[in-house]
Each structure stands twice: as C-alpha cells, then as structure tokens.
Amino acid sequence: MTAQGTGKIASRRVYTGRLVNLDIDTVRFPDGSSGDLEIIRHPGAAAIVPVLSEETASDPQILLIRQYRHATDGAIWEVPAGCLAAGESPADCARRELLEETGATAAKLEPLTTIYTTPGFTDERIHLFAAWGLAVHEHSRDRDEFLETVPLPLSTVLGMIRTGEIADGKTLAAVLFFAGFRLGL
C-alpha cells in the first residue's frame, strides 16, 4: 500500500551493467520527509520447478541443478532460472531457461506465484513456474554457467531445505510453494 504523497521525487543512474543497473532515488517517505535510497534495477526473472514424474505421483521427482556461484564461494542447489530478455514474457523466459540449463522442454508450464527477491534494495521480481511432461534434449548453457542436473524425489528436496543444504531463496520459495499449494503436502 502506498501512502499518499510518497514515492520517487528524482532518480539518478550511477551504474549501468550487463545484468543490473544502480540508481540513487530521492524519495518521499510516509512521514513526509525525503531521502536517498540505492536501488538495483533488474529486468526480472523466471524460475522453474521441473517435474519428471506424472502429475499424480505422491512423491514426484524434480530436477534440481547444482551450480557454481561466485557470490556464495561455491556450488549451491537451485531450480533452473534466468533473467527476462527485453520484451520476453515470464513464461517464454521459463521455457528458454529450462531448455538452456537442463536441456528439457515441457509439455505443460504452470504459473505458481511471483516473488520480490530483496525489496529493501532491488526491484527484481521472479516469476515461479512448475513444468510437467518433460522431454530431455541437449542443453545450451551460457559460457559462465557451470552446473550439473540432478533428479531428486521431492521428499529428499524438502529434507535438504529443512537441514539448510538448500539455501537459495528462489528455490526455497518455488519448491515450498509447489509442495504446499500445488500438491497440498
């Protein structure tokens, strides 16, 4: 909810990058005061829970990736995901990233929800999907993507979340949303 009289007064771009831009926004706060906030502008993204099992499976097998991430000093468990290209729909992005990272195409792509990743300093939103009816082909990863695909039962993935082995925010949100709201576990 936006308070009356709040919002952006001015914006100044201080960095333009390949993936993100950094702006300094002067904003009016709900109490009427104003101040500067650093905001990372991001084009948005899509993330996918690739389901290898039939929709009726009680413990469906999903396809996770284990990917090297410089920011975490090593490899982490994730669902496939990637940035929206200019003019690209979230569903088209999800299908593209699923193919690029895992080599899979989906007969059915189901929207789950959309999340803000870190609204304290970025406008990034990730659109979460479940993908069913997978057919595996050849992947076409970006040259800076170092990952392996690993099929795992959902019960195992939930256990990895419980123990903290899976700590990636989009993966937590996607898998828990899928398990809780799509499957009703």
pLDDT on residue 3: 58
pLDDT on residue 138: 72
| 120 shares a domain with 104 | yes
pLDDT above 90 covers a percentage of the chain that reads 82
Q: Which domain holds residue 30?
A: 7-41
| 119 shares a domain with 49 | yes
pLDDT on residue 146: 78
CA 78 to CA 83: how far, in whole Å? 15
| 27 shares a domain with 56 | no
Residue 2 lies in a domain: no
pLDDT on residue 2: 53
| 75 shares a domain with 150 | yes
pLDDT on residue 147: 83
| 140 shares a domain with 104 | yes
Tallying the residues shown for the chain, one arrives at: 185
Buried b (16+ CB within 10 A) or exposed e, 53-90: beeeeeebbbbbbebeeeeeeeebbbbbbbbbeeeeeb
Query: Which parts of the chain register pLDDT below 70?
Result: 1-4, 139-142, 145, 185
Q: How much is the pTM?
A: 0.90
pLDDT on residue 144: 72
Tokens of 27: 């904003």
| 108 shares a domain with 67 | yes
- The vertex-137 CA angle with 133 and 140, nearest 5°, equals 120
CA 158 to CA 62: how far, in whole Å? 11
**C-beta separation of 26 from 10 below 8 A:** yes
Question: Sign of the CA dihedral 137, 142, 143, 146?
Answer: negative
Q: Which of 87, 14, 88, 102 is nearest to 51 (CA)?
A: 102
Q: What number of helices (H) and strands (E) belong to the chain?
A: 3, 10
| 114 shares a domain with 146 | yes
Domains: count for the chain: 2
CA 144 to CA 86: how far, in whole Å? 20
| 69 shares a domain with 160 | yes
| 120 shares a domain with 70 | yes
pLDDT on residue 182: 86
